């Protein structure tokens, strides 16, 4: 700090870093589809100002790249599928993203097998501490409702609608990618994604109120025209059942986003304690204190509404392992306000 004077006193200076802009620059989006690239099933990284899709790439990829540029993302990981891909090739394409730091992946799905392959991949990645969300697009209402019931996966979001791009033919991948991009860019996982405007998209077909209700009841996220733009009516996951019993706990996308946010922050906070940490009451107390501070901060931010005191212990059969048991309540997003009026005349 250079204050430029020798006069006694108390001086200060500050710098401003835009968290919003910083978040955008660090955001990455995965795209998997038939993009006509020379090397299928291989990750191609496109970074603003450094690299871009080649001129021979399909217009779909070119337009999606422009969409990402306008949003200000840091990078796009594109994996091209061969024409008429099988489920195994979809799994291979998604597997190419295993080591990439990408939370949201938009997939051009052509059938049930492709969607189920995506669900298996997302679940497998989560089990490896690599949280992922996959966004799929559909154009047929009946097929979308059936598919959502078959997937039953909280890490897959299914949109209905084929919005267009600057007068060009519509494609379901535009809507899925735009929603995935909006989710990836949002820093606060508790923010509602209801009536979310999907910038730059146009021309999606209209749906009746009964059709929208049927889709939302079936765990499908409808895209609807509002004025001259496209909106996602409500973003929901396809987690329909738990043990065969209907369960709406993970229905809103915010539920899984908050869970991922909390667990990522817990892992990041406690990772530093692994360096030189020794077994003992002091270490266990430090772990518990760190977790409490983190959960308290998340509650103050409104991301969680409550939490329990962490239980930290070392199992007797493995003294080199520290177990931390935490409990918290995710902030449920309000999507409806119902007014009951008592009128006297």
Distance CA 29, CA 103 (A): 7
Tokens coding 199: 């910038």
Contact 295, 263 (CB under 8 A): no
pLDDT tens-digit readout, 136-163: 999 999 999 999 999 999 999 999 999 9
Tokens coding 116: 């189920």
What pLDDT sits at residue 243? 81
- DSSP 8-class letter at 222: E
pLDDT tens-digit readout, 171-206: 999 999 999 999 999 999 999 999 999 988 988 888
pLDDT tens-digit readout, 62-113: 999 999 998 889 999 999 999 999 999 999 999 999 999 999 999 998 889 9
Is pLDDT at 51 greater than 70 in this prediction? yes
Backbone angles phi, psi at 307, to 5 degrees: -155, 155
pLDDT tens-digit readout, 220-270: 999 999 988 999 999 999 998 888 888 888 899 999 999 999 999 999 888
What pLDDT sits at residue 10? 57
Please provide the average confidence, as pLDDT, over all residues in the chain: 88
Torsion, Cα of 89, 93, 96, 101 (10° steps): -150
Mean pLDDT of 299-319: 91
Q: Which domains does the chain have, with CATH numbers?
A: 19-251 (3.40.50.2300), 273-330 (no CATH)
Crossing angle between the packed helical segments 141-151 and 209-217, to the nearest 10 degrees: 20
- Closest to 94 measured CA to CA, from 67, 84, 104: 104
Name residue 79's beta-bridge partners. Answer: 32, 43
Is pLDDT at 3 greater than 80 in this prediction? no
Predicted TM-score of the model (pTM): 0.88
Tokens coding 289: 């204190």
Distance CA 119, CA 94 (A): 11
């Amino acid at each position: 700090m250079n204050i430029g004077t020798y006069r006694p006193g108390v001086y200060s200076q500050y710098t401003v870093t835009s968290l919003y802009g910083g978040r955008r620059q660090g955001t990455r989006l995965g795209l998997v589809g038939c993009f006509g690239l020379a090397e299928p099933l291989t990750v191609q990284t496109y970074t603003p100002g450094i690299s871009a899709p080649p001129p021979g790439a399909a217009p779909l990829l070119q337009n999606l790249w422009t969409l990402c540029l306008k949003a200000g993302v840091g990078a796009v990981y594109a994996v091209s599928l061969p024409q008429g891909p099988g489920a195994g090739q979809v799994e291979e394409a998604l597997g190419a993203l295993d080591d990439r730091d990408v939370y949201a992946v938009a997939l051009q799905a052509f059938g049930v097998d492709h969607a189920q392959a995506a669900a298996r991949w997302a679940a497998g990645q989560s089990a490896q501490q690599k949280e992922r969300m996959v966004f799929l697009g559909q154009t047929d209402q009946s097929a979308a409702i059936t598919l959502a019931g078959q997937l039953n996966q909280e890490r897959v979001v299914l949109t209905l609608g084929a919005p267009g791009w600057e007068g060009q033919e519509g494609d379901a991948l535009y809507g899925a990618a735009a929603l995935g991009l909006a989710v990836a860019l949002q820093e606060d996982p508790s923010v509602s994604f209801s009536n979310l405007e999907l910038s730059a998209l146009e021309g999606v077909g209209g749906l009746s109120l009964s059709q929208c209700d049927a889709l939302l009841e079936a765990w499908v996220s409808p895209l609807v025209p509002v004025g001259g733009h496209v909106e996602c009516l409500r973003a929901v996951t396809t987690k329909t059942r738990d043990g065969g019993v209907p369960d709406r706990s993970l229905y809103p996308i915010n539920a899984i986003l908050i869970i991922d946010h909390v667990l990522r922050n817990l892992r990041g906070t406690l990772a530093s304690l692994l360096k030189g940490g020794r077994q003992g009451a002091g270490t266990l107390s430090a772990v518990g204190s760190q977790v409490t501070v983190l959960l308290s901060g998340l509650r103050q931010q409104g991301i969680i509404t409550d939490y329990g005191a962490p239980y930290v212990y070392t199992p007797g059969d493995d003294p080199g392992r520290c177990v931390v048991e935490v409990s918290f309540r995710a902030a449920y997003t309000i999507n409806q306000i119902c007014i009951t009026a008592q009128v006297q005349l």
